[in-house]
Structures are given as C-alpha cells and as structure tokens.
C-alpha cells in the first residue's frame, strides 16, 4: 500500500540521492537511482527492461557460440570437432538458451520498457515483483549454465523426451539442472505475466481504451496470457520429471506402466503456445515500426488485434502436430492436422495487413524498417513451410529432419530475432538518447540477412533429402555435404553480423543526442524525453485516439490529408533541439507530487534463494534450507516494507474512511500515527500510480 514521501523536484529529475537513515530489517533501504549499485535494487521498469535486454543479448552470444560449434561439427561428413556427448549438450543448450534465455527475456525487455510508456503509466503494476522476475530469470539462467562446471550440461534436447530423460538413461545431473533451471525461469515468466497483464489492464492512462492500445501492447498482452496458462503446464511436466529423478516417482517409468507420451503431451501443450509467445511480441514490434516509417497508420488495426487474439486461442489446439509420428492415432492426427492448417489464416491476415501498411505509404528504409520488412518477408517463408507440416501424412517425412530446423529458424530467427533487432534499432534512441549508426546498421542487416538465408535455406533441402536433426555426424555419400557446408558458412556470417552490431553499439555511444521524437513516432513513448525521466511523464498522458501522439502532432485538412499542427506539447521536459517544428515544453509542472516506489533489496534476496534451493536438492539439503530461509525472509521483508519508502514515518491515506471508528487499541495507534504525520502534500495527494502491496 502506498505510503508516500515528499521529495524535492530536484531529487527526482536529477536522481540525486536523498539521505534516509532508516534501517529496515538488516538493510538500510537503498534510495539511489544512480551508480552501479542502483541496478541491483532498482524497481524502475525501464532499468529492468535494460537489464533484461543486456542479459538476453549476452545469452544470445553464448547460444550463438554453441550454434557455431554445432555448425563447425557438421561442416563436413564424419565431423571430428565435437564428441557426440559434447555435441548433444551443445544442441540441447543452444535450443534451451535461445528459447528461454534469449527470445523470451528479450521480449520481456521490450514489454517491460515499453508497455508502461505506451499506455501512459508511471511503472508496471508491481514494480518490486518486476525486479524479482528479472533476478529470478538471471539466476535461473546462471543456474542452468553452472551445469557445465558441475559434471556436464543437459544433453537430451530442449524437448527432453521421456524416458531418455530418466535417471536410468541420463544418470548425470545435467537433466536435473535443466528441470530445476527451467522451473526457476518459469517462476520469472509467470510472475512477469501476472504483472504485465495487470499493467495492461489496469494502468492505462485516462482515455486509453483497450482498442486504443498500440498493437505492440496488444501482442505482448496476448503473449503474456499465453505464458500465464502455458507455464503451469510445463511446470507440471518438470515437477513430474523432477520427482521421478530425485524421489523415485514413476511418472515416466515405463517398467511401472508409464506412458512416455504423457511427457510429449504436457511439453507440447506448453510448447506450441510458447511458439506464439516467442513470435507475437515481435509481430507487435514490426506493427509499430512499419507504420512509423510508412508514415501512415497500421492497416486494419482491429483485424491485427483480433487476429492476434485468434492466434492466442487457436495456439492451444495445435500441439499434437509435433507428434504426428508419435503414434497418437489417426483421429487425433486428422484433427490436429486441420487445426494446424487453419491457424495459418489469422497469421496470413497479419502478413497481408503489413503489406497493406506499405501500400501507398512513404517508406523510409532505416535499419529498423529493413529488419521489420525482413521479418515480413522471412516469416512468410517459415509460415509456408509450417503449412507444409500441417499435411500430416507428409509431416512424417519432415518431422525431426532439418526441414523442421529450417522452418522454425525462419519463424524464430527470421521472425522473432528480426523483430527484436528492428525494435532495438527503433527504440534505441528512446532508451539511450542516441541512435545506433544507420550505416553500420545497414551493413549489420544485410550481412545478417544473407547469413541467415545461407544458413537456413539449404536446410530445407537436406531435410527433405533425409538428414535427421540432432545427429552428431553424418556419413559421406548421403548428398548432404554441400548444403551443410553452405549452412556452416552462413552461420559464421550471422556471427559476423552480430559482431557488427556489437561494434555499432560500442561506437554509437558518441552519436549526437537524438531528441525526444527522432522518427516522428505515433505512440506515447515519443512524447516524453529520451531517455524518459524516472517517472516517465511530467504531465499525465491522456488518450483520445489510437496513435495518440501522432494526433497531438497532426490534424487533417479539408482534403483529408494530414497536416502538421502549429504547435504541440511534449509530456516531459525535453532537450532544446526537440522543440523545433512546433514542439513545446510542458508548463506548470511540479514533479514533486509524483511518487514512485523506492528501490529495494528484497527482490534480489528472494531470487537468490531459488538457485540455492536448486543446488540443495541436488547436493545437500542444507543449501536448500538456506535458500528457503532467504526466500521466506525475503518475502517477509518485502511484505513489511512499504512500496514507497516513508521518509517521514508512517503516512496515512487521505481516502481513509473518515467515519471509521477504531475498534481497538491497535487501530487507534495507527490512526494516531497517521494523524501526527505532516508528510502528505497540502492538496492531499498521496496516491502513487503504482502500488505494490502483495498479500502477506
């Protein structure tokens, strides 16, 4: 519950530290928003978004290295670069990393950073839980990767089919690290999903009706709903496997009568919605980027929204198309074949609408736009090979071959990663104040585009020529040599393009300030300064239209053509150059009345407990007990700590029921404290935008 404090305007805009000598529990509550330590305790959705993004990109480099090792091994027949044991660890960790530690957190990064800005909120609904999600994700990922130093990484594929995942066939701890690590990151995803859904539904600025939300927010919202319902399903699967492995349960013990298909059903009931979790936010990103650079609104906004929702629903009815060769019976195969075909319809609607947005636009090919159009063109290829999979009888030729590998890389790389890079180039100036260099960026795009197609297009061919995936070597004389060599060359081109991007990031630090609205954007995040202030907007945003910010800047003349308004007002203090072409600074702003949740140690403390429990389950229960203590202590600490640090003692809410009569001593005490407190503003404004009081 929001207990509030008075802050000086200076403190908020500059982030200057205020000295609060009030010990809470074992710690003094952190209060700074600057310096490296502030990153450990921050609850600011923007900082957390940046943390997610930076971490995901680091994992992208690691997962990419694993991919390079895989491709080096397969460059020619009878490859000797890796032993089969190491190769199996590599493809397992590559898949697990790219799905759980790169694309999901990358989209969490965008969702975290952008959703509050786009809907005109000051933060997410539960800022401290948001920090908690990030730390849990980070520690879960590190926990998973620590397996490399503790006897070997998991080696049973990212799908980890039973019964090969059982102790009998995988006696090492690798699979345990996988099950526990994914349970930990699952907690992060689940908490994040609740948080972001509540944010989308509850924190919208006045006037921001659901159908005025930017498409990115919509797609992120659908993806978070999918997470909300998909994470528990894989959690069940992971639980059962964990109990099998650690406590001798029988869920996947075939000798006791278990059915290995139980794992496949649970995994893919999660796994297929997961595909849409990975792609929908990327769809959202390009749905923002293409209109911005076509300089016209998204074609068919409501259809884009509803097709996204339709995909969200239909995504639950297609999972068994991963099991067309598993022996689920012809009736199931027929049904899932049909549902898989028809999920292509709403996906097609999206592609056609993006093309409709290009139609009669005025297209500027910035790097962000190149990646966005790249997504539309490359995802189409992945979509079409997806339709080929839906022809279930022939899918028995395609499944578990490189044809499938090609398909999902066109979807996840040509789709998700291109969308992510589009978003990175588009919002970089908003997040860091300067653009990435366009010239280097174009080189990055074209090298990545070429490398991507060179890597994955040949896989269609070798797949249909019968090369199975997850095989550490292949013999000579299968007709696969040339295509595999080309794939390997392509993969190194992708690596080169990533290095070009890293160079761009490093070099661009010296680029001039980009201003608040460098792309003439359409949505509210461009109405505030770059980077935005801690509280996002000095003026509270309101929304009268879809693309509200565009409507602030433009109106239509008598011919129905848009004309720029003489002047318009930014929602925060912006730098001088942004004020050209009619921009005005907001006036009469007193940011001292804005109260934000204070930084907190507790999220990272609780999160730290989870991997300890994990190690404890594997090695010694003492560690688990220590981890449990950290978690419980952290939760108590978090529960007792007010969301906003009460600098001047307890504060009382002004909306406190005046007729309320305390019924006992305790209540009276509380009222007394409240009454003796002069911290609330003279106008009685105490409510923070965000409250963060979870039960218990």
Partner 1 sequence: MARRSKLVLLVLIVALATAGCAANAPQDSLDPAGPFAKMLDNLFMPVVWVAVAVFILVEGAIVYFVVRYRRRAEDDDDELPVQLHGSTKLEIAWTILPALVLGLVAVFTIPVVFDLNAKPAGALEVSVTGQKFWWGYTYGAQPAFGIEEGGIVTANELHIPAGQPVYLTLTSPDVIHSFWTPRLNGKRDVVPGRTHTWSIQAYEPGVYSGQCAEFCGTAHANMRLKVVAHDQGGWDDWVRQMQQPPIQPLGGPAAQGFELFTQKGCAGCHRVEGAFEAVAAESPPAPDLTHLFSRDCFAGCIYDLNDRNELEAWLRNPQRKAGSLMVLGGPLTEEEIDNLSAYLETLE
Partner 2 sequence: MSVSEQTAMAPTGSAPDADDHIAHDAAAPAHHTSTGLSNEKLGMWLFLGSECLLFGGLISAFLLYRSKDVEGMTGPAVGDLYDIPFTSVSSFVLLMSSLTMVLSLSAIQRADHRRARTWMLTTAMLGASFVAGQVYEFTAFVREGLGYTTNLQSSAFYTLTGFHGVHVTIGILMLVSLFVMSLRGRLSAEKTETVEIVGLYWHFVDIVWIIIFTLIYLIPA
Enter the DSSP assignment of 532.
P
Question: If DSSP codes are grouped into helix, strand and coil, which group holds residue 199?
Answer: helix
Give least dist CB 643 to partner 2, A: 11
573 is in the binding site of which of partner 2, partner 1, none (Cβ under 5 to 8 A by kind)? Answer: none
**CA-to-CA dists, residue 176 to 240, 246, 588, 623, angstroms:** 12, 8, 58, 16
Residue 575 token pair: 């730098």
CB of 327: closest distance to partner 1 in angstroms?
A: 4
Residue 296, binding choice from partner 1, partner 2, none, Cβ under 5 to 8 Å by partner class: partner 1
Could you say which of partner 1, partner 2, none residue 161 binds, taking C-beta under 5 to 8 angstroms by partner kind? Answer: partner 1
Nearer to partner 2, 342 or 621 (CB): 621
Q: Residue 301: which of partner 1, partner 2, none does it interact with, CB under 5 to 8 A by kind?
A: partner 1
199 close to 117: Cβ distance less than 8 angstroms = no
- Residue 122: name its binding partner from partner 1, partner 2, none (Cβ under 5 to 8 Å by kind): partner 2
Choose the one of partner 2, partner 1, none that binds residue 248, judging by a C-beta under 5 to 8 angstroms depending on kind: partner 2
Closer by beta carbon to partner 2, 164 or else 253: 253
Q: Output 67 or 230, the one with its CB closest to partner 2.
A: 230
Cα gap 527→15, rounded to integer Å? 21
CA–CA dist 233, 231 (Å, integer): 5
Rounded least distance, CB 248 to partner 2, Å: 4
For residue 180, the minimal CB distance to partner 2 (Å) is 17
Q: How far is the CB of 138 from partner 1 (least distance, A)?
A: 29
435 vs 595, which CB is nearer to partner 1?
435
Contacts of 484 (CB under 8 A, 6+ apart): 74, 75, 76, 458, 462, 467, 474
Nearer to partner 2, 3 or 282 (CB): 3
| Partner from partner 1, partner 2, none contacting 268, C-beta within 5 to 8 A by type | none
DSSP one-letter string for 127-178: HHHHHHHHHHHHHHHHHHHHGGGTT----STTT--TTTTSTTT--SSHHHHH
Q: Tokens 């709903």 — which residue?
A: 225
**Residue 384 interacting entry, from partner 2, partner 1, none, C-beta within 5 to 8 Å by type:** partner 1
Residue closer to partner 2 by CB (options 262, 485) is 262
Smallest gap, in angstroms, from Cβ of residue 146 to partner 2? 27
* 206 vs 302 by CB, closer to partner 2: 206
**Phi and psi, residue 554, nearest 5°:** -130, 150
Query: Least distance to partner 2 from the beta carbon of 189, Å?
Result: 10
Shortest spacing between CB 542 and partner 2, in angstroms: 5
Nearer to partner 2, 25 or 77 (CB): 25
CB 335, min distance to partner 1, A: 9
- Cα–chain-centroid distance for residue 363? 28
Q: How far apart, in whole angstroms, are the C-alpha atoms of residue 143 and residue 483?
A: 36
**How would you class 230 by CB atoms within 10 Å of its CB: exposed for 0-12, middle for 13-18, buried for 19 or more?**
buried
Q: Which does 503 bind (CB under 5 to 8 A by kind): partner 2, partner 1, none?
A: none
Cβ(203)–Cβ(212) below 8 Å: no
Q: Kindly state the smallest distance separating residue 319's Cβ from partner 2, in Å.
A: 13
CB of 483 vs partner 1, minimal distance in Å: 6
Q: Can you say whether the dihedral through the CA atoms of 650, 655, 658, 663 is positive or negative?
A: negative
Smallest gap from Cβ 536 to partner 1, in A, equals 27
Q: Is 350 helix (H, G, I), strand (E, B) or coil?
A: helix
Is 291 or 642 the residue whose CB approaches partner 1 more closely?
291
Q: Is 339 or 572 the residue whose CB approaches partner 1 more closely?
A: 339
- The CA–CA distances, whole Å, from 560 to 363, 549, 553, 556, 570 equal 20, 18, 15, 5, 25
Q: Which among partner 1, partner 2, none contacts residue 85 (Cβ within 5 to 8 A by kind)?
A: partner 1
CB of 241 to partner 1, least distance (A): 14
Burial of 24 (0-12, 13-18, 19+ CB in 10 A): middle
Length of the chain, in residues:
696
Angle value at C-alpha 678, between 673 and 680, nearest 5 degrees: 105
Cis ω for the linkage preceding 68 (within 30 of 0): no
Q: Are 105 and 52 in contact (CB under 8 A)?
A: yes
Q: Please give the Cα distance from 240 to 253 (Å, whole number).
A: 11
Is there a contact between 213 and 222 (Cβ–Cβ < 8 Å)?
no
Residue 220 interaction partner, one of partner 2, partner 1, none, beta carbon < 5-8 Å per kind: none
* Residue 365 partner contact from partner 2, partner 1, none using kind-dependent CB cut-offs of 5 to 8 Å: partner 1
151, interface contact from partner 1, partner 2, none, CB < 5-8 Å by kind:
none
Cβ atoms of 325 and 400 closer than 8 Å = yes
172 vs 681 by CB, closer to partner 2? 681
HEC readout, 262-306: HHHHHHHHHHHHHHHHHHHHHHHHHHHHHHHHHCCCCCCHHHHHH
Omega within 30 of 0 (cis) for the link into 163: yes
C-beta of 302 vs 684, nearer to partner 1: 302
Judged by CB, which is closer to partner 2: 210, or 384? 210
């Amino acid at each position: 519950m929001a207990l509030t404090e008075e802050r000086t305007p200076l403190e908020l805009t500059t982030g200057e530290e205020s000295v609060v000598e009030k010990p809470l529990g074992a710690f003094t509550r952190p209060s700074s928003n600057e310096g490296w330590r502030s990153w450990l305790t921050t609850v600011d959705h923007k900082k957390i978004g940046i943390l997610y993004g930076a971490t995901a990109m680091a994992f992208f480099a690691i997962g990419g290295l694993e991919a390079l090792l895989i491709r080096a091994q397969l460059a020619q027949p009878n490859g000797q670069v890796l032993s089969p044991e190491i190769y199996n660890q590599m493809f397992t960790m590559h898949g697990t990393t790219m799905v759980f530690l790169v694309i999901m957190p990358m989209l969490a990064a965008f969702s975290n950073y952008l959703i509050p800005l786009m809907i005109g909120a000051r933060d997410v609904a539960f800022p401290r839980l948001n920090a908690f999600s990030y730390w849990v994700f980070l520690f879960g990922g590190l926990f998973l990767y620590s397996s490399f130093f503790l006897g070997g990484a998991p080696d049973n594929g990212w799908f980890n089919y039973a019964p090969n995942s059982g102790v009998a066939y995988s006696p090492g701890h690798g699979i345990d690290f996988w099950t526990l690590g994914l349970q930990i990151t699952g907690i992060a995803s689940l908490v994040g999903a609740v948080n972001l859904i509540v944010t989308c539904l509850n924190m919208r600025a006045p006037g921001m009706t659901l159908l005025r939300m930017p498409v990115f927010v919509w797609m992120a919202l659908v993806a978070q709903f999918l997470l909300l319902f998909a994470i528990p399903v894989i959690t069940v699967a992971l639980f059962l496997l964990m109990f099998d492995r650690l406590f001798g349960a029988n869920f996947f013990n075939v000798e006791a009568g278990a059915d290995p298909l139980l794992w496949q059903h649970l995994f893919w009931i999660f796994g297929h919605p997961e595909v849409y979790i990975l792609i929908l936010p990327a769809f959202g990103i390009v749905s923002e980027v293409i209109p911005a650079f076509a300089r016209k609104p998204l074609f068919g906004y409501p259809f884009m929204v509803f097709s996204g929702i339709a995909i969200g629903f239909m995504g639950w009815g297609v999972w068994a198309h991963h099991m067309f060769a598993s022996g689920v019976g012809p009736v199931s195969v027929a049904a899932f074949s049909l549902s898989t075909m028809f999920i292509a319809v709403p996906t097609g609607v999206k592609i056609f609408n993006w093309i409709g947005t290009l139609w009669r636009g005025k297209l500027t090919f910035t790097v962000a736009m190149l990646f966005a159009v790249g997504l539309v063109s490359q995802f189409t290829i992945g979509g079409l090979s997806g339709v080929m999979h839906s022809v279930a009888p022939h899918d028995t030729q395609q499944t578990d071959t490189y044809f499938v590998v090609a398909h999902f890389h066109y979807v996840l790389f040509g789709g998700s990663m291109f969308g992510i890079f589009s978003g990175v180039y588009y919002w970089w100036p908003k997040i860091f104040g300067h653009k990435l260099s366009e010239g280097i960026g174009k080189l990055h795009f074209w090298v990545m585009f070429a490398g991507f197609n060179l890597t994955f297009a040949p896989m269609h061919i070798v797949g249909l020529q019968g090369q199975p995936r997850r095989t550490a070597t292949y013999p000579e004389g299968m007709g696969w040599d040339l295509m595999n060599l080309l794939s390997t060359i392509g993969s190194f081109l992708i690596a080169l393009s990533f290095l070009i991007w890293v160079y761009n990031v490093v070099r661009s630090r010296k680029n001039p300030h980009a201003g608040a609205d460098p792309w003439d954007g359409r949505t509210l995040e461009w109405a505030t300064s770059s980077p935005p202030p801690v509280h996002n907007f000095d003026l509270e945003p309101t929304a009268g239209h879809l693309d509200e910010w565009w409507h602030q800047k433009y109106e239509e003349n008598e011919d129905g053509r848009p004309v720029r308004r003489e002047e318009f007002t930014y929602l925060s203090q912006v730098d001088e150059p942004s004020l050209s072409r009619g921009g005005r600074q907001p006036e009469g702003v007193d940011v001292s009345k804005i109260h934000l949740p204070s930084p907190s140690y507790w999220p990272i403390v609780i999160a730290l407990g989870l991997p300890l429990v994990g190690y404890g389950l594997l090695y010694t229960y003492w560690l688990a007990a220590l981890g449990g203590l950290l978690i419980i202590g952290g939760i108590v600490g978090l529960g007792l700590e007010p969301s906003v640090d009460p600098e001047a003692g307890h504060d009382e809410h002004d909306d406190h029921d005046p007729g309320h009569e305390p019924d006992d001593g305790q209540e009276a005490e509380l009222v007394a404290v409240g009454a003796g407190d002069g911290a609330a503003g003279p106008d009685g404004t105490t409510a923070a935008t965000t409250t963060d009081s979870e039960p218990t």
